[in-house]
Structure formats: C-alpha cells, structure tokens
Structure 1
C-alpha cells in the first residue's frame, strides 16, 4: 500500500468517526425545539410557562417531552420549588452549558445567512 492510499484510508476512518459523533450529537440536541430550549435557558432559569411563551410555536405537550429528554441527557435540571402553588424551574446543568458555544455559533451563522439571502 502506498502513502496516498494509506492516508485516504485514515481520512475515511476520521470521516466515519466524525459522522458518528455528529449523529450522536443530533440524537441528543436534534429536532425542531431542543436547541431553542437550550438557547433560552442559556440566558437564565425559566419556568415551564415562560419557556412555552418564549419558544414560539411549541405545544405544551411537545415542550414537556423535550424537557424530559433534555433532563434524561443531563443537559437541564428540573427544580421543584416549595411555593404555593408549586413552581418548577428549569436551568442548564454544567454539562448543558457546554452546548452554549454551539448555540451561539448556530445563531451567528443564522444571522449571517439571513443577511446573505434576504439582504
């Protein structure tokens, strides 16, 4: 095997590993709503009703489902406060905060894309 063929096989393996990692990431944060929820919680803690208002277009049922999945993947904390009536507050975990650079990069790209396409 010559050097070029060896390098191509190595690149192929790196490409495959990158694709696998991207699929893993999208399994956790993919879909229409999770990045929006994470982005909102990047600014401050929010109650369910606040998230429902802030994430435009999401239904209560879908928000509940997405929050449970984000909690299962240890990206958010669900804190039940002993108020009357009971209040539930959501925050990013330290692990969830590691997604913030990604949401900021996506937002920046989206703004640039909007300018490029719309003007």
Structure 2
C-alpha cells in the first residue's frame, strides 16, 4: 500500500480509507461489473459484443449492470443517430482510471490459477 508510512504514524486505519473502500465496493459490487469493465478496457463495444466477451452473463443481467455502471459514472452509453440505431458502451475517464487495478487483478488471477487452482 502506498499509504503505509502514513498508517505507521497513525497506528490505525483512518475512517476516510474505510469510506473510500466502501464507496469503491458499492460501485463495483457483484459478479459482473469488473468483467464488463475489463471487456470495455479494449475499447467501445456494442451490447452483443459484450455478451460474447463475457461467458455466462444473461442479457437481463448485462443490461442491469450496464445501467448501474452508467449511473455511477464508470461508463457511458453512446447512441448513434443511424438507421438502425446503434448503441455502444465506453468507459469514462473514471472507469479508465481503474485500469491499473484491473491489470493487477488479472495478473494475480492468472498467477493464482496457475499455482493454486491448477494443483487442486
């Protein structure tokens, strides 16, 4: 943690850190939000592309999670004025700012799968 020197001085976790973690978890809670964000990390995608990229997600759940992420400012829905109407989803700057977190999670998950899950 980049805040260890501050924590050493205080000897307890500041309440602002706990609130920040809770805020983050409230936005990213659930099974599907991080996979959706990871898929959008590769660029704009349409609904069906997201369905293909994320195995086992139902259209209803994808729709719900996209609405939640949009309401929390993590992604934006872009409606193109065309015939037929084309809708794309894209991460916002706030969503892209989680890229290092997602990269770390991917790295950890790949290592964990190789060293722990592969042995069981």
Q: TM-score, normalised by structure 2?
A: 0.85
1:9 shift after superposition: 9.7
> Relative to 1, partners in 2 of residues 1:87 and 1:22: Cα closer, same or farther, differing over 3 Å?
same
CA distance in 1 between counterparts of 2:70 and 2:77 reads 7
CA distance in 1 between counterparts of 2:29 and 2:106 reads 15
Mapping 1:32-71, distance limit 5 Å = 32-71=31-70
CA deviation profile, 1:70-100 (whole Å, cap 9, x unmatched) = 1111111100112221110001111110011
Q: Once superposed, what is the RMSD of the aligned Cα atoms?
A: 1.9
Aligned partner of 1:12 in structure 2 is 12
**Structure 1: where are the runs of 5+ without partners?**
1-6
1:19 shift after superposition: 3.0
1:52 shift after superposition: 1.1
1:23 shift after superposition: 1.7
CA distance in 2 between counterparts of 1:106 and 1:8 reads 26
Aligned partner of 2:109 in structure 1 is 110
CA distance in 2 between counterparts of 1:112 and 1:17 reads 31
Structure showing the higher helix proportion among its residues: 1
> Relative to 1, partners in 2 of residues 1:19 and 1:78: Cα closer, same or farther, differing over 3 Å?
same
Q: TM-score, normalised by structure 1?
A: 0.85
Deviating 4+ runs (over 4 angstroms): none
**Structure 2: where are the runs of 5+ without partners?**
1-6
- Structure with bigger gyration radius: 1
Mapping 1:23-38, distance limit 5 Å = 23-38=22-37
